[in-house]
Amino acid sequence: MGKIRVEGLKKSYGANQVLKGIDMQVKQGEVVCVIGPSGSGKSTFLRCINRLEDITEGKVIVDDQDLNDPKTDINKARENIGMVFQHFNLFPHFSVLKNIMFAPMELGKMNAKEARDTAMKLLARVGLADKADAFPSQLSGGQKQRVAIARALAMNPDVMLFDEPTSALDPEMVGEVLGVMKDLAREGMTMMIVTHEMGFAREVADRVIFMDGGYIIEDGTPEDVFGNPKNERTISFLQKVL
Amino acid sequence: MKSIKLSLFSLTLLLLMVTGLSGLAGGAAAEPNSGKTYVIGTDITFAPFEFQDVNGKYVGIDMDLMEAIAKDQNFKYEIKPLGFNAAVQALESNQVDGVIAGMSITDERKQKFDFSEPYFESGVVMAVGINNDTVKSYDDLKGKKVAVKTGTEGYTFAKSIASKYGFTIVPFDDSSQMYEDVKTGNSVACFEDYPVLRYVANQSKDLKFVTPKEAGASYGFAVGKGKNKELLEKFNTGLANLKASGEYDRIKEKYLGEDAAVSVKQSRGELILGSIQPLLVGLGKTLLYTIVSLFFAFILGLIFGFMKVGQNRFLRGVATVFVDLFRGIPLIVLALFIYFGIPQALGFTMPLFLAAILTLSLNAGAYVTEIIRGGIQSIDRGQMEAARSLGLPYRKAMIKIIIPQAIRVMVPAFINQLVITLKDTSILSAIGLVELTQSGKIIIARTYESFTIWAEVAIMYLIVITLLTKLSGYLEGRVRRG
């Protein structure tokens, strides 16, 4: 039984169909990287998995909960699905510490002391214990993204979604963020990562999915997809990026 | 939905409370008695029939007559100086019980009002500037401009001969503005009821008569058609008693006789000193109306602003209609519609204070809605997405994440709206609201000192608005620094 199950997923914006029928599963503890050219629908696909996008057709099931079932409490479901965004989206009016403590406290998961301890532990884990009292505007891009990961982890989710987490970073900062993500993968977190970092995908992913034109074109181990691509479009894409 | 209903309910409640309190305050001024207190509308400037004396008390032939008749017939009344047009409209829409404002009895007016026995024989006359030697008869008006006050007999007469003698009519809403236009020479002459012009000529020594007065109409006290019969009867009986006792002639003589008191010409210093206090009271009212209506505008803005950014299509539509409607209607039209139109259509009396607050609140509310919508939409979508992805419900995310950031964007726009609403209160002088501008008009009606008083009024607005603008700059700076 998959941790994440996607069945016949279609998504349109008006007349423009972005996702044209996607079926896939992600197992507990699996790390799946989604690659593909821009406009292929990979970010939209990822955003359907915590229902930031309402879907047009099909099913998205996370932890046996159908996210688009009206009976599902989407807020409760989202507590279990962490998300990290390309542009970090830290709350600029909160300190780093408050950014991380905010959701667990606001949603009654922890009291102030527990939230603070958790936040400090997470900050230490992403190497930013000394930045607890700083504000987001005082941080570099890499630091911001590491805080954003800590913020998502504070809710203790089962699944983590990453939407191009390093695309907005200066090259010298990509490593520090990927390092944190690698640690997370090693600890057994179920992860879906939309990324352009092919080296990272090859090294960390259990599976790589190549998307184009609203479809999944290839789905396999990194060795298969990178080493022995079967589809013409995969080959042409990889030639361009590798 | 529930919270919106609740907010609307509390808004209505608050409005009722505020207006109720002001009503109480007004009621407390009149002596508590069992009989009805009639509300009598009048002009703010129609010397010698009604005008404010130096102490701010309304005097004049109409006022003295009303007082004497009420005493004779033993009834209570309250004078509402609304301005002539506003008073007539207020009578039409039953906002007042009667009007005494040097109103000529005409067939047209008889269709809408019931008039008392005539209490004054009038007639239109032309006046020209004291130094004007070119205009000696109506023939000399060819190609010139002539000032008149809208809705008066003078206006009707001037209009009837305008094409014959080839002059242009310049209409004013206010007598003193009309005289001012003649004194400054913009217009060469004005047409007005004889007693009025005679009084002005006596007082100011700036006008003279070169033609005889036209045979004219008579003034009457008016009530709504078929309404307030007992008040009309009391007026007629009282008037007859006054005429019999000689009191009537004494009142007339007091204002129009050869030895009628001429008010002492004040020096500019005295004028400024004497006018500062009533103008400051007017400024206080302006600030009060501004603050109270912005308070309600803010509540309206919050309700409709959030409807506009919300996910419900129907509520978004409702909010859009609200904004388009009240942003699209000029403030003065809205004021006239609310104060005169709605009560006439639905047959009830609307307190002036309520009408003024409603008008300003709805107008500013539309703009505040847009400020709030703009502020919220200026916050990056990613903020809401990040909050929702953590499991926060929409409302919590809005309150804790979006609004605190949006407020920083909104502060300068709010201060700007404050300045605009403060200036807009002056427009409500059109429905007789006594605020700073109307206070100025009333003093000018007595003193005919346009330059000094308007300069004072302008400076008062300037000082307050400059202070607000400085405050805005300061707050903006603080917001920018975080």
Task: Calculate what percentage of chain B has a pLDDT beyond 70.
Answer: 90
Q: What is the pLDDT of residue B272?
A: 86
Cα A9 to Cα A24: distance, rounded to the nearest angstrom:
9
Task: Calculate what percentage of chain B has a pLDDT beyond 90.
Answer: 48
Q: What amino acid occupies position B331? A: L
Q: What is the pLDDT of residue B5?
A: 52
Alpha helices by DSSP H, A136-206: 141-153, 171-186, 198-204
Put simply, the answer to whether B386 touches A106 (Cβ < 8 Å) is no
Put simply, the answer to whether B391 touches A75 (Cβ < 8 Å) is yes
B142-194 pLDDT, tens digit each: 999 999 988 888 898 999 999 999 999 999 887 778 888 888 888 999 998 88
Put simply, the answer to whether B386 touches A82 (Cβ < 8 Å) is no
Question: Considering only CB atoms, which chain B residues are within 8 Å of A102?
Answer: 390, 400
Chain B residue with CA closest to A150: the answer is B390
> pLDDT per position in chain A (242 positions), as tens?
579 999 999 999 999 999 999 999 999 999 999 999 988 999 999 999 999 999 999 999 999 999 999 999 999 999 999 999 999 999 999 999 999 999 999 999 999 999 999 999 999 999 999 999 999 999 999 999 999 999 999 999 999 999 999 999 998 999 999 999 999 999 999 999 999 999 999 999 999 999 999 999 999 999 999 999 999 999 999 998 87
> Is B16 or B283 the better-scoring residue by pLDDT?
B283
Cα B1 to Cα B166: distance, rounded to the nearest angstrom:
64
B72-104 pLDDT, tens digit each: 999 999 998 888 888 998 898 888 999 999 898
- Choose the closest CB to A91 out of B388, B401, B482: B401
Cα B152 to Cα B276: distance, rounded to the nearest angstrom:
32
B202-241 pLDDT, tens digit each: 777 788 888 888 888 889 999 999 889 999 999 999 999 9
B365-414 pLDDT, tens digit each: 999 999 999 999 999 999 999 999 999 999 999 999 999 999 888 988 89
* Complex ipTM: 0.93
Minimal Cα–Cα distance from B382 to chain A, Å?
6
| Residues B288, B291, B296: CA angle, nearest 5 degrees | 125
Chain mean position to CA B183: 25
Three-state DSSP at B127 gives strand
Q: What is the pLDDT of residue B367?
A: 97
Q: What is the pLDDT of residue A89?
A: 96
Put simply, the answer to whether B390 touches A79 (Cβ < 8 Å) is yes
Question: Considering only CB atoms, which chain A residues are within 8 Å of B388?
Answer: 52, 75, 78
Measured between CB atoms, does B401 come within 8 Å of chain A? Answer: yes
Q: Which residues pair with A193 in a beta bridge?
A: A33, A162
Put simply, the answer to whether B389 touches A78 (Cβ < 8 Å) is yes
Chain B residue with CA closest to A106: the answer is B392
Put simply, the answer to whether B386 touches A52 (Cβ < 8 Å) is no
Look at residue B18 and tell me whether its pLDDT is greater than 60.
Answer: no
Q: Which residues pair with A191 in a beta bridge?
A: A31, A160
Put simply, the answer to whether A85 touches B385 (Cβ < 8 Å) is yes
Chain A residue with CA closest to B384: the answer is A89
Q: What is the pLDDT of residue B448?
A: 72
Put simply, the answer to whether B390 touches A151 (Cβ < 8 Å) is yes
Q: What is the pLDDT of residue A120?
A: 96
Is-contact B153 B220, C-beta < 8 A?
A: no
The token pair that represents A117 in the structure block: 């301890």
Put simply, the answer to whether A91 touches B380 (Cβ < 8 Å) is no
Q: What is the pLDDT of residue B264?
A: 59
Range B339-351 average pLDDT: 84
Put simply, the answer to whether A52 touches B382 (Cβ < 8 Å) is no
Cα A99 to Cα B107: distance, rounded to the nearest angstrom:
77
B234-293 pLDDT, tens digit each: 999 999 999 999 999 998 888 877 666 666 566 788 888 888 888 999 999 999 999 999
In this structure, the strands spanning B145-149 and B113-115 are unpaired
Put simply, the answer to whether B385 touches A87 (Cβ < 8 Å) is no
A92 preceded by a cis bond (ω within 30 of 0): no
Q: What is the pLDDT of residue B203?
A: 74
Radius of gyration of chain B, Cα coordinates, nearest whole angstrom:
26
- Choose the closest CB to A50 out of B389, B404, B482: B389
Q: What is the pLDDT of residue B481?
A: 60
Q: What is the pLDDT of residue B216?
A: 80
* Preferred mutation among B381, B390, B395, B478 to probe A, highest tally of A CBs within 10 A: B390
Put simply, the answer to whether A83 touches B404 (Cβ < 8 Å) is no
Number of H helices, E strands in chain B: 19, 14
Look at residue B3 and tell me whether its pLDDT is greater than 60.
Answer: no
B103-127 pLDDT, tens digit each: 989 888 999 999 999 999 888 999 9
Cα A90 to Cα B387: distance, rounded to the nearest angstrom:
9
Measured between CB atoms, does B405 come within 8 Å of chain A? Answer: yes
Put simply, the answer to whether A89 touches B385 (Cβ < 8 Å) is yes
Question: Considering only CB atoms, which chain B residues are within 8 Å of A46?
Answer: none
Put simply, the answer to whether B386 touches A103 (Cβ < 8 Å) is no
- The pTM (predicted TM-score) of the whole model is 0.71
* Preferred mutation among B311, B381, B389, B478 to probe A, highest tally of A CBs within 10 A: B389
Minimal Cα–Cα distance from B306 to chain A, Å?
20
Chain mean position to CA A24: 16
For A156, what's the count of Cα atoms within 13 Å in the CB-facing half-sphere?
9
Measured between CB atoms, does B391 come within 8 Å of chain A? Answer: yes
Is-contact B105 B118, C-beta < 8 A?
A: yes
Range B7-29 average pLDDT: 46
Chain B residue with CA closest to A153: the answer is B390
Minimal Cα–Cα distance from A227 to chain B, Å?
35
Look at residue B20 and tell me whether its pLDDT is greater than 80.
Answer: no
Q: What is the pLDDT of residue B308?
A: 93
